Structures are given as structure tokens and as C-alpha cells.
Amino acid sequence: MQAVDTELRPPAQETDMDLHIVAFCCHFCAYAAADLAGALRVQSPPSVRVVKLPCTGKVDVLLLLGALEHGADGVMVAGCLEGDCHYQRGNLHARQRVERVQVLIEQIGLEPERVRMFNMSSGMGQAWADAVAEMDAQVRVLGPSPLRPTAPGGLDVLIDQVDTTDDEGADEQVRACSVRPPSSASPGRPES
């Protein structure tokens, strides 16, 4: 058992590593769980930046890849429990997109564990803290992304463009987050 614990723990010199993890969170569940964790004063690593979305169904392959390209060392997508999405199937579509990105980044030589999907309800503040700690530990083992640009600020610009924390009309913008127009996908081809 001792050997397993040692393998999961980052080496001593890497504990001060400056990491950037972006967490795309749905408004109704994961963002509320993060808020609850904060209200309960549950400690979580400072490496995670939360980006509030109306639904994880709004996440697409290009957004996830863009976060990595702009300097994220890891990307979390945190949505409602499966079967409980407020937009019916948005979190299921997000899971498919996360899996697609994992395949793509592995093909270019990047570790697929840098992009992960988590599901939780709004009352699961401890689950949020556990997911963040798990993601932080995983990325610490992997180390900084080789895609991280040398010029700072690119990730902040991307996050500011996507974050709907202060957007009053966010629900209206995402009405079709789990429904894709028929012309966007060819028959027999999975949605990206």
C-alpha cells in the first residue's frame, strides 16, 4: 500500500509548480457545488480557474483544444449527474466531446489525462473539492503542458471570452446546447 501512495504523491520539488487548470462548469450543478465547497470552506488547490457555462453541452472540441493551446496544463469539464442535465442531454454531449479530445491529444503526443469529465449535483461540495484535488494531483504528476506558450495572458483572454459568470441572459444563449442542427453532422458520423 505504501508504494501506491508514494506513486500518487508528486515529487517534493514539484509541489510548488505553477499549474493552470481550467474547469468548465455548468451553472446548475458543478458551479453550484464549487460555490457550496467555498461556503463550507473546503480547501481546494489554487491551480484551478472556474469558468461558468449555462450547460456543459456548450463545450465543444475547439474550446477544449483552445484551452490547452492557450496555456492550460489541464482541463476539467464538470457537469450535472448523468441523466439529470437541465438541458436534457448536454452533459452527455460534453462527455463525448471530452473523449474525442482525449483521442486527439493522444495522437499528437499529449497525455489524454489532461482533459477529464466529472459529474456532480449542486449539493456535492465535497465531490467538487475531491474532483479538483484529483485533477490537480494528476496534472502535477504529468507536469506543465509542453503546449504552454511563453507569453502569459493568452489563457485569461480565452476564459474572459467564454465565462458567463456575469451574463444575465446565459440561459437564453444556450437553449440549443444539447441539440445540434441536422446539417452539422453527416449520417453515420459521431458528433464532435
- pLDDT tens for 97-107 read 999 999 999 99
According to DSSP, residue 81 is labeled P
Residue 17 confidence (pLDDT)? 74
> Any alpha helices (H) in 40-124, and if so which ranges?
61-69, 90-107
* Band of pLDDT at residue 4, cut at 50, 70 and 90: very low
- pLDDT tens for 39-93 read 999 888 889 999 999 999 999 999 999 999 988 999 999 999 988 888 888 889 9
Percent with pLDDT over 90 in the chain:
55
What's the angle, vertex CA 36, arms to CA 35 and CA 40, rounded to 5? Answer: 120
The mean pLDDT of 164-185, rounded to a whole number, is 46
* Band of pLDDT at residue 160, cut at 50, 70 and 90: confident
Residue 178 confidence (pLDDT)? 40
Question: What is the longest distance spanned by two Cα atoms in the chain?
Answer: 54
Query: HSE (CB half, 13 Å, CA atoms) of 139?
Result: 29
Question: Which residue type is seen at 44?
Answer: S
For the chain, the average pLDDT equals: 79
Q: Cα 54 from chain centroid?
A: 14
Q: Is residue 5 over pLDDT 80?
A: no
- pTM of the complete model: 0.73
Question: Which residue type is seen at 18?
Answer: D
CATH number for the region 19-164 comes to 3.40.50
Q: Is residue 163 over pLDDT 50?
A: yes
* Band of pLDDT at residue 134, cut at 50, 70 and 90: very high
- pLDDT tens for 9-28 read 344 334 457 899 999 999 99
